[in-house]
Structure 1
Amino acid sequence: MPKAVQTPEEVAIRTLREKLTGELRSVFENAGCERVEPSVLQPADVFLDRSGEDIRRRLYMFTDPGGTELCLRPDLTIPTCRLFLERAGDGGEARLSYSGPVYRFQPQGSPKPNEVLQAGAELLGATDREAADAEAFALAVDGCNAAGLESFEIEMGDLSLFDALVDALDIAPGWRSRLKRQFWRPDYFKELVQRLASGNADAGGEQEGLLAALNALDEKSAKSVIEDVLKLASISPVGGRSTGEIAERLLEQAADASAAPLSPEIVKLIDDFLGLTLTPKDAAPRIRELTAKAGISIEPRLEALEKRFAAIEAKGFDLSKARFQAGFGRRLEYYTGFVFELQVPELGPEKVIAGGGRYDGLLKSLGVEQPVPAVGCAFTVERLARALKLKGETK
Structure 2
Amino acid sequence: MSSTPATMSEPRRAREGMAAAMRAVFEKSGFAYVEPPLLQPAEVFLDRSGEDIRRRLYVFSDPGGRELCLRPDLTIPTCRLYLEGGSAGEARLCYSGPVFRFEPSASSKSAEFVQTGAEFFGGADAEAADAEMLALTADAVRAGGLGDFDIEMGDLALFDALVDALDIPAGWRSRLKRHFWRPAYFKELVTRLTTNGATVGGDAQAGLLAALGALDEASAKRVIADVLDLAGIAPVGGRSIAEIAERFLERAADANTAPLSRETADLIGAFLSLSLAPKDAAKAIRDLTEAAGISIGRELAALERRFELIEKKGVDLSRARFQTGFGRTLEYYTGFVFELRAAGKGPEGAVAGGGRYDGLLQSLGASARIPAVGCAITLERLAGATGEVR
Report if TM-score (shorter chain) is over 0.5. yes
Root mean square deviation of aligned Cα: 2.7
Alpha carbons of structure 1 residues 224 and 387: separation in structure 2 relative to 1, 3 Å? farther
**1:334 equivalenced with 2:332 (yes/no):** yes
Please point out which of 288, 297, 309 is paired with 1:311.
309
Deviations 1:247-303 (A, max 9, x none): 432342233222211111111111111111111121111111111110011111111
**1:156 equivalenced with 2:158 (yes/no):** no
Match of 1:218 in 2: none
Query: Residues 13 and 386 of structure 1 are in contact (CA less than 8 Å); yes or no, is this contact kept in structure 2?
Result: no
Match of 1:209 in 2: 211
**1:124 equivalenced with 2:121 (yes/no):** yes
Q: Distance in 2 between matches of 1:245 and 1:9?
A: 52
Please point out which of 350, 354, 357 is paired with 1:356.
354
Query: Residues 174 and 255 of structure 1 are in contact (CA less than 8 Å); yes or no, is this contact kept in structure 2?
Result: no
Match of 1:144 in 2: 141
State the secondary structure of the residue aligned to 1:88.
coil
1:23-102 equivalence runs, <5 A: 23-89=21-87, 91-102=88-99
Match of 2:197 in 1: 200
Query: Residues 148 and 343 of structure 2 are in contact (CA less than 8 Å); yes or no, is this contact kept in structure 1?
Result: no
Q: CA offset at residue 350 of structure 1?
A: 4.1
* Identical-pair percentage: 62
Q: Distance in 2 between matches of 1:149 and 1:86?
A: 35
The farther-off stretch of 244-253 and 352-361 is 244-253
Q: Distance in 1 between matches of 2:116 and 2:372?
A: 17
Alpha carbons of structure 1 residues 315 and 245: separation in structure 2 relative to 1, 3 Å? same
Alpha carbons of structure 1 residues 8 and 105: separation in structure 2 relative to 1, 3 Å? farther
1:10-29 equivalence runs, <5 A: 13-29=11-27
Q: CA offset at residue 208 of structure 1?
A: 2.0
Alpha carbons of structure 1 residues 121 and 186: separation in structure 2 relative to 1, 3 Å? same
Q: Distance in 2 between matches of 1:350 and 1:84?
A: 32
**1:323 equivalenced with 2:356 (yes/no):** no
Deviations 1:73-109 (A, max 9, x none): 00000000011111125x2111000110000112265
Q: Distance in 2 between matches of 1:223 and 1:50?
A: 24
Query: Residues 157 and 338 of structure 1 are in contact (CA less than 8 Å); yes or no, is this contact kept in structure 2?
Result: yes
Q: Distance in 2 between matches of 1:67 and 1:283?
A: 51
Q: CA offset at residue 156 of structure 1?
A: 0.3
What code does the residue aligned with 2:181 have? W
State the secondary structure of the residue aligned to 2:85.
helix
Query: Residues 351 and 382 of structure 2 are in contact (CA less than 8 Å); yes or no, is this contact kept in structure 1?
Result: yes
The farther-off stretch of 323-332 and 116-125 is 323-332
Q: CA offset at residue 381 of structure 1?
A: 0.6
Match of 1:368 in 2: 366
Q: Please, what TM-score do these two structures have when normalized by structure 1?
A: 0.88
Q: Please, what TM-score do these two structures have when normalized by structure 2?
A: 0.89
- What are the ranges of 5 or more consecutive residues in structure 2 without an aligned counterpart? none
What code does the residue aligned with 1:265 have? E
Alpha carbons of structure 1 residues 358 and 348: separation in structure 2 relative to 1, 3 Å? closer
Alpha carbons of structure 1 residues 375 and 10: separation in structure 2 relative to 1, 3 Å? farther
What code does the residue aligned with 1:61 have? V
Alpha carbons of structure 1 residues 352 and 179: separation in structure 2 relative to 1, 3 Å? same
Alpha carbons of structure 1 residues 312 and 332: separation in structure 2 relative to 1, 3 Å? same
Match of 1:280 in 2: 278
Q: CA offset at residue 16 of structure 1?
A: 2.1
State the secondary structure of the residue aligned to 2:255.
helix
Q: CA offset at residue 71 of structure 1?
A: 0.4
Q: CA offset at residue 209 of structure 1?
A: 2.6
Q: CA offset at residue 58 of structure 1?
A: 0.5
- What are the ranges of 5 or more consecutive residues in structure 1 without an aligned counterpart? 1-6, 215-221
1:180-329 equivalence runs, <5 A: 180-200=177-197, 202=201, 203-214=205-216, 222=217, 226=221, 237-329=235-327
